[in-house]
Amino acid sequence: MRFAKSVRLAAGIATWILTSTTLPAAQTNVAVAANFTEVAKEIAAAFKAKTGHEAVLSFGTSGQFYTQITQGAPFQVLLSADDARPKKLVEDGLAVPHSRFTYAIGKLVLWSKTPGLVKGEETLTAASFSKLSICNPVAAPYGAAAIETMKSLKVLEILQPKLVEGATITQAYQFVETGNAELGFVALSQLMGPETGSRWLVPQELYSPIRQDAVLLRSGASNEAATGFIAFLRGPEARAVIERYGYVLDGQS
């Protein structure tokens, strides 16, 4: 009797496992550059509503993710803030070669919470502030673009002692948000809420375009949710969201 009971129980468990794994929804882990945080959340929600698949998002710097992926991090998709690292991952054999494409071109903004403080490049040349926040220029492309902008304007040397670095663009934004830095270089997408303070959209000729590339990682090649997410990112719905957040789409600039 007891034996029959446990057989029935085992059969029940087996059925439960089988049915639960044959559910159509799959899951994928996506590494997202911090500047794309809000957009990625919105896209992931739309992706789930449409396909039932779930994209689990992690946010950080492109450099951090690159290092982690070379060490076997369990991501299937990378939305980088640059094109160099996805390219390197393809060369390293860690990403699927033809999956790489530019999903957005980022825009750099000089922003302050104080109305009237940021007027334009003269704000940088006058340098009448104590702290200017940027993100780590080695690990985060927006930090590199900020440095390039200051170099183009020949103010980097004067401003160097005033620079404070956030580990990610989100932190660079936070430093300004909490008032610890008077102004900072952030991504346009971070300023999409109600317009506050003062801002200057840095002209494109002052820094090389921030081409943000997405790539399907090797481990995601056979993951339905991962390939689906990459395809969705190329589609019209995602593109509309990306554009709404102030990014330029490839082939439009």
166 binds other proteins (CB under 8 A): yes
Nearer to other proteins, 21 or 71 (CB): 71
Please identify which residue in 73, 153, 158, 167 interacts with other proteins, judged by CB under 8 A: 167
Q: Closest separation between CB of residue 70 and other proteins, Å?
A: 8
The yes or no reply on residue 133 touching other proteins (CB under 8 A) is yes
Minimal distance in Å, beta carbon 159 to other proteins?
A: 13
- Considering only residues 104, 110, 144, 163, which one is a binding residue for other proteins as defined by CB under 8 A? 163
SS (H, E, C) the chain: CHHHHHHHHHHHHHHHHHHHHCCCCCEEEEEEEHHHHHHHHHHHHHHHHHHCCEEEEEEECHHHHHHHHHCCCCCCEEECCCCHHHHHHHHCCCECHHHCEEEEEECEEEEECCCCCCCCHHHHHHCCCCCEEEECCCCCHHHHHHHHHHHHCCCHHHHHHHEEEECCHHHHHHHHHCCCCCEEEEEHHHHCCCCCCEEEECCHHHCCCEEEEEEEEHHHCCCHHHHHHHHHHHCHHHHHHHHHCCCECCCCC
Q: Identify the burial level of 101 via C-beta atoms within 10 angstroms of its C-beta, where 0-12 means exposed, 13-18 middle and 19 or more buried.
A: middle
Total residues at interface with other proteins (CB under 8 A): 25
Q: Does 142 bind other proteins (CB under 8 A)?
A: no
Which residues in 169-198 contact other proteins (CB under 8 A)?
171, 174-175, 178-182
CB of 91 to other proteins, least distance (A): 14
Dihedrals φ, ψ of 118, to 5°? -95, 120
Segment interacting with other proteins (CB under 8 A) among 97-105, 131-139, 224-232, 234-242: 131-139
Among 29, 51, 64, 189, the residue binding other proteins under the rule CB under 8 A is 64
| Of residues 55 and 177, the one with the C-beta less far from other proteins | 177
Q: Which is nearer to other proteins, 165 or 224 (CB)?
A: 165
Confirm or reject binding of residue 48 to other proteins (CB under 8 A). Answer: no
Can residue 117 be called a binding residue for other proteins (CB under 8 A)?
no
Residue ranges that bind other proteins, judged by CB under 8 A: 61, 63-64, 66-67, 70, 130-131, 133, 136, 138-139, 163-167, 171, 174-175, 178-182
